[in-house]
Structure 1
Amino acid sequence: MSKTMLLLGTILAVATGDAGAQEVRDFHNIVAPSGADPWVLRHDDGWYYVTHTTGRNVVLRRSKTISGLGGAESRVVWEPTPGTPFSRDVWAPEVHHLRGRWYIYVAADDGENANHRMVVLENPAADPFDGAFLLNGKIADPASDRWAIDGSVLRMGAGESERLYFVWSGWEGDRNVDQRIYIAPMGDPLTISGPRVELSRPTFPWETAAGPPTINEGPQPLIRDGRVFLVYSAAGSWSDSYCLGMLALKAGADPLDPAAWMKTGKPVFASGDGVVAPGHCSFTKSPDGMQDWIVYHAAKRPGSGWSRSIRAQPFGWDAEGLPDFGVPKSPDRPIPLPSGEPGRLRFEAEAARLEGPARAVGDDGSGGSKVVGLTGPEARVTFDVGVEKAGTYVGAVRYRTDPAAADDRIDQRLLVNGRPAGTIAYADSGGGRWSVAFARLPLHAGPNRVSFAPGHGRAEIDSLDVILDPPGAVVPPPETQDAR
């Protein structure tokens, strides 16, 4: 995104009468308002491919930005056949590009948790949004076919000498006593070719918290300058004690040798700065490849258990070459965008055109106010958004829901240039905290009117960000009348 385009977008927005438009290069780091077990793969085609747990199917998403993951284009790539062994409790899918093909590794069962196993889907198409992901079957050590979830692939070496290893969380036997981290060699992306080896079990107090059962799960490979790490989740995922631990492989050692892995004696990423129970992460690079980012889920508020949102933030490396994740970033304060991402226009809701009972009131919003009263047929909040090029843009809405309505359906209708543009859903924001929801906005070159109208329930609006990076999709001609 050029500075000229960013400046022109700002000029267009101001010229259409919205004094609240600002050019910004930061964001509030909730990248999905509800979800768990995020996996992000930055492919060499320039897309970030994204999956996370839905519980019922596998949805593949793609985005050009990390900060806009929640507004990614999406498609359902696998819908299990009802009544089959892998048709229920579909957890933690991961998409990998291995040896010229696309694979998705995902846990599923038949409705009985004890029957959870890892399965693999395969797609030979060059573009994972083309072709079909077909179920190849279970991926397991035949000699120790036990409960298994959270499978990932550790890649070591390159080219013809590349070696693949499957890492996952599983039970030692047939009872849910604890979850351990296992590794096994892979003969190819579809097959485990040797016995499983235990790398870690919960032993430290921070790993056994909230048990039984005690938990080591979600192992994620992280490699830099030849050093190999496995970052995993520990403690009960339903508890405020959930956190990340780490295993480090000795230089040049065999990853199948348990003695070659060293476990940290304390969490490497844990609750802090108002963020509770960060866990189950993945790692990616900024669009320009200059920064490392961790994408993870965290509880929406203390005691919320499996009610979680997905966050993202950068991390660094210490003098010994170990990852330094710091503390979780509070979504109450914006952080810089990933390097190489386009800028965005920020519109404060109190500076928008307000109709009907919609009104601005002072609060702790980003501009010192928020908009309430989006109820009744005449209520509207309308932003005047100007962009240089027509296309489908990602809009990020900072919102807050009523704590008493945590389980209610809450959404608002979107109108773009007088045409219905779908709805925007507002998940529980976390006990009165601010969160971020996403929408895809079909905008024309030049001025546009983006309106929010009442739907179900109530939500307060703080601001609208429009990411200035459209894919160039054609949008319909403008309408002259509002679809009230």
Structure 2
Amino acid sequence: MRSYPLFLLCIVGLLSLLCHAFENLIKTVDGSDPFMSYQDGYYYLTTTTWTNIQISRGETIQDLIEATPKIIYTDTTASRCCNVWAPEIHWKSVEGACVRRYYVAGSASTQNDQRIYALKSFATDIWASTWSFAGQIVIPNNDDWAIDPTVLITSAGEYLVYSSFVGSLQCLWIAEFITAVTVGDAYEISCPAYSWEDVGADVEEGPGDYSPIHLSVSHITQHQTSNHMNSPGGDEIWLVYHYSTTSAVVCDGTRRTAVQPITFSSGEPVFGTPDALTTELVEPV
């Protein structure tokens, strides 16, 4: 009989968890290039805000929706002051507890000089961290326009994956990290070759483990850069993506952030189509 109250408590706890739900949107302004992670009881979200780097935090995704972003870094250096894009947070195992944030920036007058940069913090608490400039990630054999950096970690090492040009094609490149801010030569690994990669332009960007490139439904068009996030319990994978509600290609603060779970069939991800914005989603578990 003593186990009966415990059983009821478990049921109540489960029902309470299932009752927690939210609706997209996650971010309605400056929602481009979203990167979301979960650590020590909190979700963290960063997006492109063009003039600075911001972070939002929440214990649930609903909390994240209601959170006020905190500006963690600005830069007045002319060559990297502006067009701040695609920030991500990564823990660099080669330097212990050091946390790195990789992003793209350039000058105010053009988007043609974008380069990859890094910030550093030696605190393990993301929210309380103080960030400082760590340097530019210079590609020894391809010091050219570069955007959308991410980190690939394998048993063989850690790698920078990013987007840059091969002639008129925007392709994906990979370079092995030597330190947290230096890499070896980069190698082209993929260029646009399929019809769904040349909608509007021949582009491969926003690399990640799972990244659908372009979807279009009645309420969402121009689905582009995305990342995926493991749920707190590690049993689910959620897609975090930005989109526009207009068919025009507009790279500005009107793009929005949304999320939804990924399902799998025969070991492969099934992305489906974006849910309607009024769809109620149960919080990740």
Q: TM-score, normalised by structure 2?
A: 0.85
Aligned AA (1:208): D
Q: What are the within-5 Å matches in structure 2 for residues 342-361 of structure 1? A: none
- Output the CA distance in 2 between the equivalents of 1:140 and 1:279: 26
How many angstroms apart in 2 are the aligned matches of 1:113 and 1:301?
22
Deviations 1:252-283 (A, max 9, x none): xxxxxxxxxxxxxxxxxx22353212121111
Is 1:207 the counterpart of 2:194? The answer is no
Cα distance between partner residues in 2 of 1:164 and 1:331? 37
Q: How does 1:51-450 map to 2 (within 5 A)?
A: 51-72=46-67, 74-81=69-76, 83-99=77-93, 100-111=97-108, 112-157=110-155, 163-172=157-166, 177-192=168-183, 194-211=184-201, 214-222=202-210, 231=211, 233=213, 243=214, 270-272=215-217, 274-303=219-248, 305-306=250-251, 307-319=254-266, 321-332=267-278, 334-340=279-285
- Which residue number corresponds to residue 428 of structure 1? none
Kept in 1: contact 2:260–2:281 (CA 8 A): no
Question: Would you say how many aligned residue pairs link Structure 1 and Structure 2?
Answer: 269
Matches of 1:202 and 1:51, distance apart in 2: 27
Tell me how far apart the structure 2 counterparts of residues 215 and 304 of structure 1 sit (CA, whole Å).
13
Letter in 1 for 2:231: S
SS of residue in 1 equivalent to 2:209: strand
Give the whole-Å Cα distance in 2 for the aligned partners of 1:7 and 1:290. Answer: 18
Query: Residue type of the partner of 1:309?
Result: R
Task: Tell me how large the CA RMSD over aligned residues is.
Answer: 2.5
Relative to 1, partners in 2 of residues 1:7 and 1:313: Cα closer, same or farther, differing over 3 Å? Answer: closer
Q: For residues 392-413 of structure 1, what are the alpha-carbon distances to aligned partners after superposition, in whole Å with 9 as ceiling and x for unaligned?
A: xxxxxxxxxxxxxxxxxxxxxx
Provide runs of 4+ in structure 1 moved above 4 Å: 1-8
1:33-52 counterparts in 2 under 5 A? 33-34=28-29, 35-43=31-39, 45-52=40-47
Deviation at residue 72 of structure 1 after TM alignment: 3.0
Paired AA for residue 171 in structure 1 = F
Following superposition, the deviation at residue 221 of structure 1 comes to: 2.6
Give distance in 1, aligned partners of 2:236 and 2:50: 32
Q: Within 2, Cα distance between the matches of 1:218 and 1:113?
A: 16
Contact 2:239 2:259 in 1 (8 A): yes
* Mapped pair 1:27 → 2:41: no
Percentage identity across paired residues of the two chains = 28
Aligned letter for 1:290? D
- Letter paired with 2:228: F
Q: Which has the larger radius of gyration?
A: 1
Partner of 1:375: none
Identify which range, 307-316 or 280-289, moves more after superposition. Answer: 280-289
Could you tell me which amino acid in structure 1 is paired with residue 173 of structure 2? Y
Residues 58, 79 of structure 1: 8 Å contact kept: yes
What amino acid sits opposite 1:33 in the alignment?
A: T
Q: Identify the residue that residue 6 of structure 2 maps to in structure 1.
A: none
- Flag the structure with more relative contact order, 1 or 2, with Cα contacts below 8 A and sequence separation at least 6: 2
Identify the structure with the greater strand proportion. Answer: 1
Gap change, CA 1:294 and 1:279, over 3 Å in 2:
same
| CA shift in 2, pair 1:6/1:326, >3 Å | closer
1:313 deviates by 0.4
Report the TM-score when normalising by structure 1.
Answer: 0.52
**Alpha-carbon distance in structure 1 between the residues aligned to 2:136 and 2:10:** 48
The CA distance in 1 between the partners of 2:81 and 2:284, in whole Å, is 40
Q: Flag the 1:114–1:315 CA change in 2: closer, same or farther, 3 A.
A: same
1:4 CA displacement: 6.4
- Mapped to 1, the partners of 2:269 and 2:62 lie a distance apart of 22
Structure 2: unaligned runs, 5 residues or longer: 1-8
Residues 131 and 27 (structure 1 numbering): CA distance in 2 closer, same or farther, change over 3 Å? closer
Give 1:290 shift: 2.0
